Structure 1
């Protein structure tokens, strides 16, 4: 019988190794995917993943049970991934992208495998990939990101627009190679 999230948290708080393993087994694949989206490479993703799980076990007493455990863990892992690069000035730089027209840019990726999409996203510049992940995949608003990073919302929109444009160009090249 699978333990509920509440039982997993309670067990982990009592340092129950079975509960810790069950929590890891239940959420590790999803959370490693989060780390891969925010890391520059697989090695960094593995480091972020390990550090984040250690931090999660240490902070489970702060989980209020008012929200979904998966969401609480995802947010902790995202924050840890962002903090991993915080002092690296090249990660989220202040490149002037406000000159881009940030109108509606849509992508149709229905004809591509998940692996192809992930590979394309991994090739984006760090700042574009991060903003794209936060807005398009995690669902953050530009206002939330602006407050989180003390960054201009238009700059963040520009990074996201640039990411979408680069992805569109990447997939257009793939289409030409396919046909």
Structure 2
């Protein structure tokens, strides 16, 4: 964490444990960008991301006594934000239909095109995916969950997880192709 050493962080966390509003505000501000970047990967809009972020920080402040200071705070915070996003997803989209195909074709996304995109552009593309595709893609590709863990977290089959990932990659590839065509058209004019 830039600008904060472990002693300063521990002092902030101690203040939060004492329900000190100023400590809570400082912790929120210090980790806002990091936590928001996690939340945006799981939502379709910045507003929804903020809602999840605020719910996540509420959990941070109410469950801070469970944090183990021997482990990195960012890892713990990340886990809370991801779980909050998944909780939000389950509440809002309980009836969303998951494709239950036993195995999707393995579609890769052109890495050279992705490397030219800014972080914001990539997040924007991910946000355009359907909720089922967005959640599985983010969990698997960005946060490193296995298909077994995803299936368990979302209460879907292993095949549905694999299929949703495959279809998310295909949709991203289609969006990236469109970006390339649009950029080519602009340059060609």
Q: After TM superposition, give the deviation of residue 16 of structure 1 in Å.
A: 2.6
Long gaps (5+) in structure 2: 185-189
* Equivalent-residue separation in structure 2 for 1:141 and 1:80 (angstroms): 19
Q: Which runs of 4+ in 1 moved over 4 A?
A: none
User: For residue 129 of structure 2, what is the aligned residue in structure 1?
Assistant: 124
One of 33, 37, 45 as aligned partner of 2:37: 33
**Helix, strand or coil: the match of 1:151?**
coil
User: RMSD over aligned Cα, in angstroms?
Assistant: 2.0
Provide, for residues 72-109 of structure 1, a one-character-per-residue CA deviation record: whole Å limited to 9, x for no partner.
Answer: 11111111111113133244x322343532x3624311
One of 159, 163, 166 as aligned partner of 1:161: 166
Q: After TM superposition, give the deviation of residue 135 of structure 1 in Å.
A: 0.8
Contact 1:106–1:164 at 8 Å: present in 2 too?
yes
User: For residue 66 of structure 1, what is the aligned residue in structure 2?
Assistant: 70
* Equivalent-residue separation in structure 2 for 1:39 and 1:152 (angstroms): 22
Contact 1:32–1:45 at 8 Å: present in 2 too?
yes
User: For residue 108 of structure 2, what is the aligned residue in structure 1?
Assistant: 105
Greater share of helix residues, 1 or 2?
A: 2
Long gaps (5+) in structure 1: none
TM-score, length-scaled by structure 2: 0.84
**Helix, strand or coil: the match of 2:53?**
helix
* Equivalent-residue separation in structure 1 for 2:53 and 2:79 (angstroms): 13
User: For residue 9 of structure 1, what is the aligned residue in structure 2?
Assistant: 13
Q: After TM superposition, give the deviation of residue 24 of structure 1 in Å.
A: 1.1
TM-score, length-scaled by structure 1: 0.88
User: For residue 152 of structure 1, what is the aligned residue in structure 2?
Assistant: 157
Q: After TM superposition, give the deviation of residue 150 of structure 1 in Å.
A: 2.8
* Equivalent-residue separation in structure 2 for 1:62 and 1:53 (angstroms): 14
CA gap of 1:133–1:51, structure 2 versus 1, over 3 A, is: same
**Helix, strand or coil: the match of 2:90?**
coil
